[in-house]
Structure formats: C-alpha cells, structure tokens
Structure 1
C-alpha cells in the first residue's frame, strides 16, 4: 500500500520563522512594494547556479546586504551592520517510533507478540520545521491520520504501516511492523512413564509434561507436587523416585510468551514404594534354650506376605545358601543336626522387594544363632576436579561451557553406593555418571553427595562462574574518512587502524587480525595500510583466557593519494 501524495511547500511558524523544503528551487525577485510582482534576479554568467538557486545548508540560511540602510533617511546606518533575512532550509524527514503498551511484549522473527489490552502509540519528531501529521494503516485499511492510540482487540496477526510528514512536505520512509495478538492460553498434558496399575506407580516412574500454544509459544511450564512450591519444568523426564509411599497430587500449568496463563491442571495418583510385609511362623514342635532352637522332624515353616496396593507377585526362599525357590505352601525344616539359615523375601507387582530392616540384606533370615555385625558410621570422603579450560582468580573459579566438573568419592568401610548432585540450591538430586558441564552463562552452584552401601552420606559444595562470551572488539582509525560513497568510507593512503579488545570476566589472551585473504597475525601495534585506491576488509579475532572467541569485520577504501 503506497503512501499518500504530499507536496513540498513553504511554512511559516507562529513566531514568523520561514521554513523552506531544501529540495525545492528558490527564485529571488526585487520589488519596490509588497504588491509589486517585481523583477526576477538572475546571473547570466552563472546560469547553472542561479536559475534557480538551492539552499546549501540544512537549517538557517541568510539573504543579506553588506550595509544596513535606514528606510526613513535612506542613508547607511552607523555603526555599519549587515541586514540578515533568515530562511530555514529543511531537507530531513521526521523520525517516528512505535511503542506497544501492554503487560508483556515478546519479539521473535521481526514479529512483536502481545497479549490482551495491547495499545500502540506512534511518537514522531522533526528537528527543523516540525511534524505536521503522522499517518498509519492497519491491515488492509487505507492510510489515515494518527490522532490517538491504536487498540489491538482481535487475536491474530496485525500488519501496521506508518510514516510522518513535516510542515514543508518531507515524507518519512514507510515503517512496517507485524504484531501478533495472542489472547489464548496454552494447553498442557501430562504423562507418567513407568509401570502403572490403575492410578498407581512405583520406583522408576518419571513425569513428562507437554504443552502447546499456537501463537506466541510456550515460555514455561510449572508444576507442584503435593504442598511443595511450584517449580519450573526443565523439559526432561522428572524422576518420581523421591516421593514417599502414598497418595500424591500433581498440579501444573503453562505460561506463554505474552503472559497468558493456563488454568491449573490437577492429577491424583498413588506412589507405591512399600515392600510387602512378611511374617515367618514355625508350625509344629519347637523348644528354645538361650540361642539354640530345637525342633522335630515334623516342624514346618510358613511364610505370609501382605501388600497394600499392587499385590504379591511371588515369594522366594533359600535354605542354607541353596538357590532360591518359589514358595507356595509350608515346608519341612532340615532334619540334619546343626545350625540352618533360611532366607526369604517377597516381591509385589511393582517389583518392590522385602528386605531386612536390621541390615542391608535384600531378604529376611531365620537363624539359630547370633551373627557378628560390623557398624559403619561414617560417610564417604568427597573431592572434585575440573577437566578443560579453567581460570581461578578473585576467589572465583571461571570455566566455559566445555569445562567438565568431575565428582569423586571413596569409602573404606562398606564401600561406595553412588554419588548424586543437585543444582542451584534445588532439593532434587541426580545420579552422577559423567562429567558435568554448564551452558548457561553466569554463577552456578553444585551440591554433591556421596552415599555408602549403608546409606551414610557426606556433602560438599562447588561454586563457579560460566563465561561463554568472547571479548568485545574495538577499532579506531587514525583519521576521519575524507569522503563516503556507496562503496564505503574513503581514507587517506597510510591511514592506520588501532585495535583493542576487552573481556568482562577473565581477561584477554590474544588479539589477531588479517587483511582480506592474507595471513592472520597477532596484533602488537597499529595496522597501517599502504595500498592505494583499494577496497579492503580487515578481519579481527579476539580470544580470552578461557578460549572464548569473538570476531569483527571492518570495510574501508584507501584513496589514490
């Protein structure tokens, strides 16, 4: 859609200042009265400059006489003074800016996204004759004068075009802005991966949250388990192994990039971590004296297992370290004289397995005499190291996104079970399997824990700062360009360029440059160019002490001299 037709014109403001469109010709006439059409001034020796003339200076220009003449006495005024008739030449168009006023604005791919209640304001300024009018077009409508804010009420894509005209007819280049109005909330769903029996889950289950938003897109998903705080969902499967046995409530919702918030979704489920309860009974004759249990050849052992949710999958038992057998009915105890050990356990349909609450064994034991037990009271010894780039300065460890943190632990008693870690003060722990690296720049905190085989635990803490950004590059020419054209800025032959770089965190390691396809060199002083009449590109590369890099290009042209 084309802009309207705006004709250049003169303008006189309220204070009597005369403004003239700098692109328009100027004809001067001499007249002896205000109503006289006068005589057109021209110079036949310079017709190319005087018929017509153009103002050469943006802003104030003067039509002048050398000495002022008193219009009453017709004599030269004393002291001598010039007569100056000012005319303001205006060749620059206004500049208009768009402002979107709303709660949330999100930019993506040259489209501004906004939610409900969005209002657009257009602000224009002109340095000389002043803004006469702003014009705008919304979607397929024609251009109209802008008089008040523009309200965006309909959901979907809006195409706004706008420009301004000053008092002498200079027309601003047309601006275009696409604005997506998003009035709809996201829609989220959940999934729990793992074995499910009705609405019950157990160890190994993980939570997956997914959300869709057709316009501005999903900014974040938040979830809450039971009465805990709402947490930001990371997008990865969330292990539910930390849940206690019993009923739990999951609540979750999503927010899009313009602040539309989904109503809270609620899902109730049961998390079964309870192993079956087992009891062992001796059926038949028995006699106990101190540590010794006596029984007859008719004595049997009976196992009973009860599970509160999933149900019993099977019961297993072993006599005197023999292979475990399936239990289906009471059995005779060994009749051979001596001490015998019967081990037994039950597994429910979720795989929860009975273990001995008095030890780390994954079964119960029925024994005839006491067993010596070693007591392990101390947790593992913890340490850590880094692999990759690392700078330690000002009491801070600086790393980049390639640096890995290695967590280490040893235990000389019951032995190591696992190392876990949590991030940024979170209570959620993750199993450590390989080196950790951090992509997000800024400060990061890692708490890590060592567990031995009887679940004694020690904790350690690491603070670090991730720096992924290369140094800032600066360059300065030793002289100003003597001209500028579409080809670039022209500099006098022999002009030098001075290079510099600054790193906000760890400091600069090296600064390199090369000219066009030439060899890259380490910068040690000014770069001087001696080739004449040559368009050249200077490539600059800066490296900080962590190996982060940044690059810049400078296009310039050297003159003939």
Structure 2
C-alpha cells in the first residue's frame, strides 16, 4: 500500500495521525513547532516589567477541521503519521518510521513538514498503475488511484490581517500619532484566506493581551493611548503585532491676550497692539481668529493687531482659536477705549502780572503754575521751556528767565499716560525786573537861601515817575517834621506843603508788576510866618481927637519890617484907600485932616503882614 503527499511517497495503512491527532477528528489540538518537536516543555515566561509592554500571547500550532470536513494544518507544524485499525482511537497505534529512521536503526520518528500553503493530498495508489505511471505521479494522481484513496489536507502558514477602522472625521495625523477631536469607536476587522480567524487580541497601555470581543470605545480626554492588536487564525498563526497610537483631544485651545504698548487699564493708545498666543493640550493650534467691532470673526490672526486705524472711542475685540481636530474655543471679548486725544495744558499766573493792552507783563517774582487735564488716560507729565531753552520736566511753579527787560515766551507741552501729545501752548509776556524812577518838584512859592529850600503852605508838591515796562502803578509819600510822622499817602494831585519848620519828605513808586523803587528823600523848611512890621512917627503925638492921635503937619512916618527866615521882599503902603500901593520906607504927613494908612510887609515867600494906622494931621 502506498500513499502520496504532494510529491512525497509513504507506505501507509489506514490512518494518518499528526502530533497525536487522529486523522478525521473535528477538533483542534495544540501542535508543537519544528523547533519544539524534540524540546522539553517550558514554563510560561514571566510578565514583563511594568515599563515594558506585555508581549503577545504564546499560541501553539494546531490542526483545524472545518465544518465541511476539510482539515487545516499549520504549515510550520511537524507531521507524524500513526497507523491504527480502530477509528475510535482505543485500539493499538503505531507511529510510522520513514526510510531514514529505518536505515539508521535508531527507530526515532522523524516529522513530516509541508512545503507550502494550500491543498495537499494523501493518495493510496493502485499497485499496478503506480508502477506504470511513476513518472506522472506529481501531475496525474487521478490515474493511479481510486477516488476513495484520496485524503485532502490544507496547509496554512499565513497569519490573518487586521484592519483598524474609525468613523471620526475630526482627526489629525502627526507621524504615527492620530489625534481625535470626538469620542471614538475603534473597530478591528480581521481577515484570513485559509483556516479563518479564531480571535483578535488587544493590549492597552502595555497591559497583557486579552481577547477583543467588541469595538473599543474611548469617550474621555486622553493624552496618549497605545493600542496593540493582532489576530490569530484557527491553526495558531498569529498576526505580527500592530500598534495604533492615538490621543483624544476633547478640549478647546486656550488663547491668551497680551496688550503691548501704552495702556492704562482698558484705555489704550493708537500705538498699542494686541498679541494673541494659544496653547492646546493635544492637537495643537490650527488657527486663531480675531475681529474688532463688526469685522467678521473669520479674520485669521497672523500678526499683532494694530490699533492705529481705529477712531477714538469704545471698541470690542473678539477672538477665539481652533485646534487641529476642530475644537473651537469659546469666543472671548475685550472692551476697550481708544484714546487719541492729547491732554489740554493750562497755566495759572501766581503773583505779579499786568495786562497793558494786549501785552502781559511779569516781574522777577512772578510764578507760573502749569496744569493739564486729560479726558481718559490721565496726564503722565508736563514739560516746559522758555524761549529756545531745552525742554524740562515740570515739577513746581516756574519763574521767568532772569534776563534784562524784554519779551519772553514759555512753551508748554503735555503727554498723557498712553503717549498722546498735547498741542503746544505758548505764553508770551514781557519780563519787567526794573522799578520805576520817581522824581519830585514844587510849585508855587519857594526860596533857596543859604543852601536850604524854603517853602510855605501855598507851595505844592508834585510827584512823578518814569517806567520802561509795565508802567507806574502808584507813588506814595509822607512828611515828617517836628510833629509825629505823617502816615503814608498815595500821590494823586499836587499837595500843599503842611507844617512849620524843618520838614522831611519820603516818597517811593512801584510799577504795575510791583517793582518797588528805592525810597527817595528831600528836606526843606516850611515858613508860614509873615514878617514883623514896624511904623515909627518922627514927631510925638499932640493929643487925641475922637480917640485918634494927632500929629503936626510935616511929621514923617517910617516903615520897617524884619523876617526871621527868608528875609524881606517889599513893603507897600496905601493912604486913605485911594491910589495904588506903593513901595515905601517913609512918608510925609503934609495934608491936614483925618487919614488912614494901610501898610503891607511881604517876605520872600509871600508871607504878608498888614498893619493899619489912623490919625489926625493938624
């Protein structure tokens, strides 16, 4: 009896067994590998260290009888042939030895290995036909055996192939990492071309492999998941382990806003800009969108947002980010005020000042206090400069430059806290540091005698002053003499000279910016005492008539006067009220009757003494 397996020939009887499996049984048993055929069984390998992923399971090589009766044999499994006459497996069994074992005499079984995948046939050929057709055995088996002499075996050395499927569109593939933006259901679909798929095994995060029985569902945030999987066919061919690295990013990006440039709270400058930065846990940032006011949010942020084109007033910035798996951040807003207006500088003049027409006068004592107001951001600083002098930072009231009398100007600048500049304010003025020059004169009677000025009550004092700048404001004066000092008075019109005797005059003037001249002094003598007048008759009285003295005809009347201060000016006489007063020092009484003589003695200041004499000439 002969059997053919492919191109190999064995002499057999009845039953072919492999690794303890009776030919024709409908269940699979583990088959040793070729390398394990003569080895002693080993204990399972210890579990891998925690940091190392678990290895795939160890799957023995085995046989599988399909429901159709087809026998599948693992291509790598060693095949031993047993011969028995009892189909129940209870009878005697003999392992067949091939010719090599018989020749060597050790009678140790040597396994048979199939050469390739696919169908193989064991044939019990007809003896007569076998000898005739030996040359045609490989291709014409049907010609050397009866149909009942054919036994079909299929060798399977190909592992299954598993495809991983997901239905989430929101995903991003970066290298060997897939990031999902939605909960994901992973389905493993294995296929096998021969014996068919027995099981699929999966391992998460390096854990030991387990049989996969349903799609894998992942619904929460996961920074990184390592899924390892493989399929096993029914004869123990495992698929090489495949890995799928993925992450679930279910959170939106987070955008931070930085305001770069001048800002006071939410009051911003045209020179301010917005810078946006976004972070994302997994998928990374795909785009940043930003808008101001009514612009569409579809504007992509590519560079800092400048505010120099915006009008002054309230505005709103809206911004959000989108990550690589379409997670969109909630739109954030920032309401702000764009301040384009500079401060408004102002000044306050403290101290001496005077407007003459359109010209403003200051003195050396004048102070200029500077202020500024701003509608939003507030004033940062005030600066100033006189004429073409360098600009300085204002800290306290300033004084004009100490220069000669003349025109100056003050430049005032201001800046608010978001760098808006004020329009420069200019203050023009005349700097007047010079006091007026006062002087005096007298009107009316006055005599200078022996180096002294003599005045009387009819004399008048006139004060005046000259000023080159703001003009004279007032002249004040006072007299002091033998009596108590008079209070100071303001000169307004000619003043009659008071008192009697030696008098001192003090006067001073100031201009309209309070430049005060040095006190001026003058001394003079006030003489309001008239001369002392004397009448002398050359003859004595002859008697009385009606109470009047009687003088003889031809009597001479002499006139004389003395003045203690300024001396005499003249003596005038008038007889009986008729005719002009004549200057006389004596007169002759040559007319008989009653007479009246009026005599006036005047000193050099015009002080007059009048004396009347009535008498009778006989």
Distance 1:341 1:119, change over 3 A: closer
Distance 1:91 1:222, change over 3 A: same
Measured in 1, the distance between the counterparts of 2:594 and 2:603 equals 31
**Unmatched runs of 5 consecutive residues or more in structure 2:** 1-259, 300-304, 320-326
Distance 1:200 1:325, change over 3 A: same
Report Cα offsets for 1:35-73 as digits up to 9, x if no partner: 987356556999xxx999965562x433469xxxxxxx9
The yes-or-no answer on 1:170 pairing with 2:433 is no
Report Cα offsets for 1:156-203 as digits up to 9, x if no partner: 443211211223332211101134443333221111133432112346
- 1:186 is matched with 436
The yes-or-no answer on 1:130 pairing with 2:378 is yes
- 2:346 is matched with 97
CA displacement at 1:228 relative to structure 2: 1.8
CA displacement at 1:217 relative to structure 2: 2.5
The yes-or-no answer on 1:200 pairing with 2:487 is no
- Is the 1:216–1:257 Cα contact (8 Å) retained in structure 2? yes
Distance 1:349 1:31, change over 3 A: same
CA displacement at 1:154 relative to structure 2: 0.8
Measured in 2, the distance between the counterparts of 1:276 and 1:293 equals 25
- Is the 1:30–1:40 Cα contact (8 Å) retained in structure 2? no
- Is the 2:574–2:582 Cα contact (8 Å) retained in structure 1? no
Measured in 2, the distance between the counterparts of 1:36 and 1:118 equals 67
- Is the 2:445–2:606 Cα contact (8 Å) retained in structure 1? no
For the residue of structure 1 that corresponds to 2:446, the secondary structure is: coil
The structure with more radius of gyration:
2
- 1:85 is matched with 334
**Unmatched runs of 5 consecutive residues or more in structure 1:** 1-8, 66-72, 77-81, 356-363, 370-561
CA displacement at 1:305 relative to structure 2: 1.4
- 2:475 is matched with 221
The yes-or-no answer on 1:274 pairing with 2:529 is yes
Report Cα offsets for 1:443-492 as digits up to 9, x if no partner: xxxxxxxxxxxxxxxxxxxxxxxxxxxxxxxxxxxxxxxxxxxxxxxxxx
Report Cα offsets for 1:106-134 as digits up to 9, x if no partner: 34455553334544443223221222332
For the residue of structure 2 that corresponds to 1:347, the secondary structure is: strand
Distance 1:36 1:262, change over 3 A: farther
Measured in 2, the distance between the counterparts of 1:298 and 1:35 equals 148
Distance 1:201 1:120, change over 3 A: same
Report Cα offsets for 1:72-131 as digits up to 9, x if no partner: x9899xxxxx96521112122112222444x43334455553334544443223221222
CA displacement at 1:208 relative to structure 2: 1.9
Distance 1:38 1:148, change over 3 A: farther
Which of 361, 365, 373 aligns to 2:612? It is 365
Within 5 A, what are the aligned runs for 1:430-441?
Answer: none
Measured in 2, the distance between the counterparts of 1:121 and 1:52 equals 35
For the residue of structure 2 that corresponds to 1:341, the secondary structure is: strand
Which of 573, 593, 599 aligns to 1:317? It is 573
- Is the 2:474–2:511 Cα contact (8 Å) retained in structure 1? yes
- 1:303 is matched with 559
Which of 402, 405, 410 aligns to 1:154? It is 402
Distance 1:207 1:36, change over 3 A: farther
For the residue of structure 2 that corresponds to 1:270, the secondary structure is: strand
Measured in 2, the distance between the counterparts of 1:264 and 1:35 equals 88
Measured in 2, the distance between the counterparts of 1:203 and 1:272 equals 8
For the residue of structure 1 that corresponds to 2:608, the secondary structure is: coil
Measured in 2, the distance between the counterparts of 1:170 and 1:288 equals 114
CA displacement at 1:222 relative to structure 2: 0.5
Distance 1:297 1:91, change over 3 A: same
Distance 1:184 1:276, change over 3 A: same
Measured in 1, the distance between the counterparts of 2:353 and 2:278 equals 61
- Is the 1:316–1:324 Cα contact (8 Å) retained in structure 2? no
Within 5 A, what are the aligned runs for 1:282-297?
Answer: 282-289=537-544, 291-297=547-553
Q: TM-score, length-normalised on structure 1?
A: 0.50
The yes-or-no answer on 1:340 pairing with 2:595 is yes
CA displacement at 1:291 relative to structure 2: 0.9
- Is the 1:296–1:335 Cα contact (8 Å) retained in structure 2? no
- 1:249 is matched with 504
- Is the 2:478–2:507 Cα contact (8 Å) retained in structure 1? yes
Aligned residues: 329
